[in-house]
Amino acid sequence: MASVPAAARTPWIRWFSAEDVLWILIFAALAFFGPERTPEAFSLLTCLAIFQIVESRIPYLGTERGNVIAILVKLALGWLLIGFTDGIASSYYFILLLPVISAATTTGLVGTTIFVLLASGVYLSFLLFLEQNQYIVDRPQLILRVALLPWVGFLTQQLAKANRLRARNYQKVAEQLATANRNLQEAEAAVPDALDRADPQSSAGLEGTGHPPPGGLCRATAATAEGLRVVAESV
C-alpha cells in the first residue's frame, strides 16, 4: 500500500503557529473553567478565539483602517460577553483588555487613549441596564475595574513605543554598517588604480607580496573603525 506523505496528511499543522496554540489554550481555559460556563459565554469566547487567530491572516486587517475595525470587533464581542454574564457585575470584565492591548501595540498615544475611553464606556454602559431598585454595592471594585483599562493600556503603549524605537535604531545601525562596507569596497577597488598611475613598479611589487597597498589599508582601517564606532554608540 502506498504511503501518504506527512505533509499531505497534516496540512493544517502548517496553518497554526505556536501563538495560535497558546490562544486556543487560553480561551479554552476561560470557556471550561471560567466563572460563567453558559452556552452564550462559550460561543462568544469561541468567536473571540477564532477572530484573534485569523486576524493576522487577513491582509486588510493589517492596514490602518482594518486594524481599527478589528479592535472594534473585539470591543463588540467583549460587550456581548459581559452582557450575557451579569453585565456590570460580570467576572469577564477583563476581556476588554484584549482590544485595549491590541490598540496599544498598533496605534500611538492618541489611538490608545481613544480606545481606552471606548473600552471604559463599553463597560460603564451596563450601568444603564440596572433596574431602579438595583445599585452598585462595591463601588471601589467598580473603580478598580475601570482603572485597570488605562493602566494596562498606557503601560503597553509605552513598552511598544520603546520596542519600535529600538528597532529603528538597529535599522539605522545596519544601514550605516552597510554604507561603511560599501565605502570600504570602493576604496579597495580605487587604490590599486591610483598607485598604478603614480608608480606602476611600486604597485606591482605590493601585489606580488600579497599585501594590500598602504592607501587601501588605511582606508580599510578607517572604515572598520567607523563601523565599530557606530556599533558602540548604538549599544
> Binning pLDDT at 50, 70 and 90, where does residue 185 land?
confident
pLDDT at 223: 55
Task: Assess whether 180 and 101 both reside in one domain.
Answer: no
Rg (the chain; Cα; Å): 30
Share of the chain above pLDDT 70, in %: 72
Q: Is 154 inside any structural domain? A: no
Q: How many residues does the chain have?
A: 235
Q: Given a cut of 80, is residue 209 above it in pLDDT? A: no
Q: Note whether residue 152 is domain-resident.
A: no
Write down the mean pLDDT value for the chain: 80
Give 66: exposed, middle or buried? Use CB within 10 Å, 0-12, 13-18, 19+. middle
pTM: 0.69
Q: Around Cβ 132, how many Cβ atoms within 10 Å?
A: 5
- pLDDT tens across 76-106, in order? 999 999 999 988 989 999 999 999 999 999 9
Residue 10: is it exposed, middle or buried by C-beta count within 10 angstroms (0-12/13-18/19+)?
Answer: exposed
Domain interval for residue 222: 167-234
Under 8 Å CB-to-CB from 153, ≥6 apart: which residues? 100, 101, 103, 104, 112, 115, 116, 119
Look at residues 94, 112, 135 and tell me which one is the last residue of a structural domain: 135
* Residue at which a domain ends, from 82, 113, 135: 135
Overall domain count for the chain: 2
> Which range, of 17-26, 128-137, 205-214, 219-228, averages the lowest pLDDT?
205-214
Domain co-membership, 11 together with 125: yes
Residues 48 and 81 sit within 8 Å (Cβ to Cβ): yes
Cβ-in-10-Å burial (0-12, 13-18, 19+) of 85 comes to: buried
**Predicted pLDDT of residue 1:** 47
| Local confidence band at 222 (pLDDT 50, 70, 90 cut-offs) | low
More confident: 203 or 176? 176
